[in-house]
Amino acid sequence: MSAVKPRILTVNQIGYPASGPKSFRYAEAGGAFEVIHASTGEVAFAGETAPARQDEAAGTPVSLGDFSGLSEPGTYRIRINGEASSPFVIANNPYADLHTGLLKAFYFFRCGCELKEEFAGPWAHQACHLAEGIVYGEPDRRRDSAGGWHDAGDYGKYTGPGAKAVADLLLAYELYPQAFRRTVPLPESDGRTPDVLHECRYELEWLLKMQDERTGGAFHKLTTKQFPALDVMPEDDLAELYFLPVSAAATGCFAAVMAMAARIYRLFDGAFADLCLDAAKRAWRWLLDHPEVPGFKNPADIGTGEYGDAQDLDERYWAAAELFRTTGDEAFHEAFRRLALQQFPKFELGWADMGAYGSLAYLLDGPENTDPTLYARLKEELLTEADKLLAICSGDGYGISLTPADYIWGSNMVVMNRAMLLLMAFRFGGKTEYEHAALDHVHYLLGRNALDYSYVTGYGDRPVMHPHHRPSVGDRVAEPVPGLVIGGPNRGLNDDCMMEHLQGEAPARCFIDDELSYAGNEVTIYWNSPAVFVVSHFVL
């Protein structure tokens, strides 16, 4: 448990941009409040909360205290009814360190290399998972499998989740290069290529190994048959690794992310860009040759993450969009137009439903390069989606776009994905409400929520301390690996620990900071990556 007791008076525990709107939440009837200087107790601002409203997701009344009128940089606390909030800053650029920490998390997820003390501090460990993997069903066929990022609290490596994580980071870099001017630093830092591209390349080099050289399809995943025990360090996880069969979903997002990489790395390393583009085209040909294939299912003797996804049209759609955007080749445009006519979600950014990456790639290509009718339609649909999210935000006590039903396994990804969509709508539609709503999602992640938790390890006054993350459990360091976004409240209570402790809790309170709770307190690369994207928007 955290040293700090949960408070009903919640803020973004990092702080607020000086120029933006600022508000706290109080999970009871409010009244007069003060914002005080944290060091002197001197009053800097005084106000009155709005009347409390019942919040369905949290199951409590919530009142909102607005202190946007205060913009003087400093460190403050809120005081109301004799209670005090976490300290927080008002600053011109409050999220720069958080942003670096969220990006550095990917370095900590690295597999196949030693994490040296110089970069990893007390979380250093030996190189892991260096053995060749066996192609499942072909016991005599072994292939190089080293590198990339561990998926999560487990040590599996999965193609689709890896593609989503890289896509978020590359999109963040494309749209917000200013946020990536600082060095992390990483072993590869050279002052020339931005560190985010070094980090993504570490994963891309591994993803390239997931392409079956015989067919061009991408293996769905690379894992041991079962998960190791929770306290096993990566270098001690020595069970055989298996390449699980090629799937269309994996091949589609592999093609997409490789086409994206070809475009972005072109400026820094032409040979690598060529390699990525060839891999993308080869994967695309596999997709054309396999128009209808069943989705991936774990064979009976495999117990690691399935990441099943029977719908692969969205991955094909995304691949066509990126290949078109990167090459300008009309054949890909034609394929995209045809796929756009099919029914599947076009504005989801998940590990299964990836349609939004395709829609956004097309929109980012710009009206001059695309079909005006389709461009206009996708833009309108994006704004409609974002308006729906805004409507949910305005009814939510904490200002976010989740309905009570949306608190599922990995709800913090839903929070960050929706903030991403709002920011894209801001880019294409201009309304500041979109940007402000996205910022409210950041405040939720950093502590302004029903449980007063910062859901990012190592950041904030009351961060999660016991993530379901094997290195954090197995090492001898008290503090968890920092910068990790944990899954978040999950009304499904999909593990024994949640079932035991959280019966009857309101959706936004279905969370326990216990290392056994994998369905609420695990970490993954694709929960960190949309957080990097969203925070990038707010970093100067």
Footprint of ligand 9MR (CB under 6 A): 152-154, 227, 230, 305, 518, 522
Q: Give alpha helix (H) positions in 147-194.
A: 159-175
**Of the candidates 13, 224, 412, 524, which one interacts with ligand G3I according to CB under 6 A?**
524
- Residue 13: helix, strand or coil by DSSP? coil
Min CB(413)–ligand 9MR separation in Å = 13
Q: Among all chains, which residue has been given the structure tokens 């005090």?
A: 84
Which contiguous run of DSSP H or E holds residue 360?
helix 355-365
Give the whole-angstrom CA distance, residue 417 versus residue 431.
Answer: 19
Q: Show the site string, 123-152: x = touches ligand G3I by CB under 6 A, - = not.
A: ----------------------------xx
Contact positions with ligand G3I (CB under 6 A) in 92-111: none
User: Taking CB positions, which residue lies at the least distance from Zn ion?
Assistant: 111
Of 522, 525, 532, 533, the one binding ligand G3I by CB under 6 A: 522
111 binds, among Zn ion, ligand 9MR, ligand G3I, none (CB under 5 to 8 A by kind): Zn ion
Q: What is the DSSP string of 63-81?
A: EEEE-TT--S-EEEEEEET
**441 assigned to active site:** no
Closest to ligand G3I by CB, 22 or 129: 129
Please state the separation of Cα 127 from the chain's center in Å.
25
Residue 227 near which of ligand 9MR, ligand G3I, Zn ion, none (CB within 5-8 Å, type-dependent) = ligand 9MR
For residue 353, state whether it binds ligand G3I (rule: CB under 6 A). Answer: no
230 binds, among ligand G3I, ligand 9MR, Zn ion, none (CB under 5 to 8 A by kind): ligand 9MR
3-state secondary structure of 500: helix
Return the amino acid letter for 346.
K
Residue 449 CB, nearest approach to ligand 9MR (Å): 22
Nearer to ligand G3I, 126 or 226 (CB): 226
Residues between 278 and 337 with contacts to Zn ion, criterion CB under 5 A: none
CB 401 within 8 A of CB 60: no
**Nearest to ligand 9MR by Cβ — which residue?**
154
| Residue 153 near residue 468 (C-beta atoms within 8 A) | yes
Min separation Cβ 59 and ligand G3I, Å = 18
Minimum distance of ligand G3I from residue 351's CB (angstroms): 6
Alpha carbon dihedral 137, 140, 143, 145, in 10-degree steps, equals 60
- Smallest distance, ligand 9MR to C-beta of residue 513, A: 16
Contact map string, positions 262 to 301, toward ligand G3I, x by CB under 6 A: ----------------------------------------
Where does 446-517 have alpha helices with state H? Answer: 470-474, 496-501
Which two three-digit tokens encode residue 392?
């949910």
- Alpha-carbon span 361 to 336, nearest angstrom: 11
User: CA–CA separation, 363 vs 365, rounded Å?
Assistant: 5
Peptide bond into 530 cis (omega under 30): no
Residue 522 appears among annotated catalytic residues? yes
**Six token digits for residue 270:** 């032409």
What sign has the CA pseudo-torsion 332, 337, 338, 344? positive
**Residue 247, amino acid:** S
Quick one: which of 9, 98, 103, 111 contacts Zn ion (CB under 5 A)?
A: 111
**Is 97 among the catalytic positions?**
no
408 binds, among ligand G3I, Zn ion, ligand 9MR, none (CB under 5 to 8 A by kind): ligand G3I
For residues 218 and 159, what is the distance between their CA atoms, to the nearest angstrom? 8
Interacting residue ranges for ligand G3I, rule: CB under 6 A = 151-152, 154, 156, 305, 405, 408-410, 492, 494, 518, 522, 524
Residues involved in catalysis: 468, 513, 522
Interacting residue ranges for Zn ion, rule: CB under 5 A = 111, 128-129, 234
